[in-house]
Structure 1
């Protein structure tokens, strides 16, 4: 496989009147390469290791657009730290529309790549965009009820006061009541598995501010969100990268959904939910994903 030098461009695109900040990684010397769009998980931004994946894909000849959802990071959108599933899916649609209009990538050869909560988004987006060439769902969030069971009934109950306060604030047009995203075991947080907080913090590069909070009103919508059900409607090739020791998105449920995808491929890793971004697990998964993208984006097949 050829290895290209890579240039990173600071770009942005419009999403319903707001701006999503992004990086575009392009392989030097390749005219109008195919492109894969990368989106992250709960409250995460592109600085949290999406660049590592984007650079590797571009080295193989596939451009990569890594973006940050509205309301987070250096993307616009108010109130801040608002996680809306509907708006994030609209951000994906806007990203696809954006790459189709760019002259420096091939808008007819597009794939999507999502991790964690973004992995669930990637499944839904792929089911809605049959023109895509491929999709990748990494340690994907596929079933809110399964993740709620992983959090446990006590952990779920601890969220209710914050959720009630934020719903009240939203009804009165006030600033959101924020809830911790990743906390220590026993803390009030959306994720409180032992590896959640250190796992998130390990992804934040020096000099980057990570706001470990999200508007609490999202918690009930997450519980009833089941993006895995869309897998059976994905007609394009889709690769599921599943961590066998995932404390956040239980692998058994994800495997069941993945098996329903007509053109699904499954790769499993001896890793936890947050391990996949770093070290040997990263090297294993990025190699598999690069091979998959090259196979489906750099061939001449329709």
Structure 2
């Protein structure tokens, strides 16, 4: 109920999205949402959007190009600049709607997109608020958290993929989440089970747990956390204390530089925050933040 299938163009390609609309006669503030590294909207984003909608907020939940239901070839191609363009296109689309309050656009990101929303809001001074959950803020910190041997194997595959792309070769892929010691983007002890538990049972057999390996080269030089001083809107940072993917120390260092930043710290790890009691605590804090900073009319 109250969820529409919509789409918008990002550099000529269609991005598919869900638009959740609350039962209200007035246009509601809209929360633009997308997932993290290689993830899609079916991986628990609906659980957040439904809670926000039930409070009276609209939500636009989209898949990036090359992922999920959105267009883009080759599939599973993750590019930082393309995803940032997708965020801009999603926000522009939200601002064309007459059924939402276009003066109250909130950005919600998690993990890799937790960094994207920081970078996007820093460049868009009209954004009303930001929620950045277990955010990727510092490429060097995330890379240093990977064991050296794994890092070498990942880099070799990334370089092979990048070189092949110059000659039109098909992407060389790498697992998104794998067991410790495996050649995967995320291979800490909690990553494989934690990541894959977000995939719905109905999609588990077909879920592509891989991505074009070249993204590993971009991650090393991506530092969205450096833009926190440029955020002029209220920003909530939900930080996982034992995060193996986006180390909390670096995240907190960046978060404390946000002029209107608010920080909540959770004892759980990176993937715990999406489920169970941790999810309830986290979304409770996010709801409180929304009601204080972007109140309903």
- Listed as ranges, the gaps of 5+ residues in structure 1 are 1-5
Provide Cα deviations, 1:160-201, integer angstroms capped at 9, x if missing partner: 231122112201112111111111000001110011110111
Equivalent pair of 1:13/1:98 in contact (CA under 8 Å): yes
CA distance 1:79–1:266, shift in 2 (3 Å) = same
State the match for 2:230 in structure 1: 233
Does 2:187 align with 1:195? Answer: no
Equivalent pair of 1:62/1:293 in contact (CA under 8 Å): no
Does 2:16 align with 1:27? Answer: no
Equivalent pair of 1:110/1:297 in contact (CA under 8 Å): no
RMSD after superposition = 1.1
Q: Distance in 2 between matches of 1:236 and 1:140?
A: 17
Q: What is the SS of the residue equivalent to 1:288?
A: helix
State the match for 1:204 in structure 2: 199
Equivalent pair of 1:146/1:249 in contact (CA under 8 Å): yes
1:111 CA displacement: 0.5
Does 2:139 align with 1:159? Answer: no
Between the two proteins, the alignment pairs up a number of residues equal to: 295
State the match for 1:184 in structure 2: 179
Which one of 217, 221, 228 corresponds to residue 224 of structure 1?
Answer: 221
Q: Distance in 2 between matches of 1:177 and 1:30?
A: 50
Mapping of residues 58-77 of structure 1, within 5 Å: 58-77=53-72
Provide Cα deviations, 1:201-252, integer angstroms capped at 9, x if missing partner: 1101122242111111110110111110000110111000001111110001
Equivalent pair of 1:116/1:139 in contact (CA under 8 Å): yes
Q: Distance in 2 between matches of 1:168 and 1:257?
A: 33
Q: Distance in 1 between matches of 2:234 and 2:78?
A: 28
1:29 CA displacement: 2.8
Q: Distance in 1 between matches of 2:36 and 2:158?
A: 20
Question: Structure 1 residue runs of 4+, over 3 Å off?
Answer: none
Equivalent pair of 1:114/1:137 in contact (CA under 8 Å): yes
1:30 CA displacement: 4.0
Task: Answer with 26-35 or 250-259: which moved more.
Answer: 26-35
Equivalent pair of 1:30/1:61 in contact (CA under 8 Å): no
Which one of 266, 277, 290 corresponds to residue 293 of structure 1?
Answer: 290
Does 2:89 align with 1:89? Answer: no
Q: Distance in 2 between matches of 1:153 and 1:117?
A: 22
Provide Cα deviations, 1:133-158, integer angstroms capped at 9, x if missing partner: 10011000011111111112111101
Q: Distance in 1 between matches of 2:128 and 2:161?
A: 40
State the match for 1:257 in structure 2: 254
Q: What is the SS of the residue equivalent to 1:101?
A: coil
Mapping of residues 263-282 of structure 1, within 5 Å: 263-282=260-279
State the match for 1:3 in structure 2: none
State the match for 1:133 in structure 2: 128
Equivalent pair of 2:30/2:58 in contact (CA under 8 Å): yes
Equivalent pair of 1:18/1:76 in contact (CA under 8 Å): yes
1:294 CA displacement: 2.0
CA distance 1:30–1:48, shift in 2 (3 Å) = farther
TM-score (norm 2): 0.97
Q: What is the SS of the residue equivalent to 1:34?
A: strand
1:299 CA displacement: 5.3
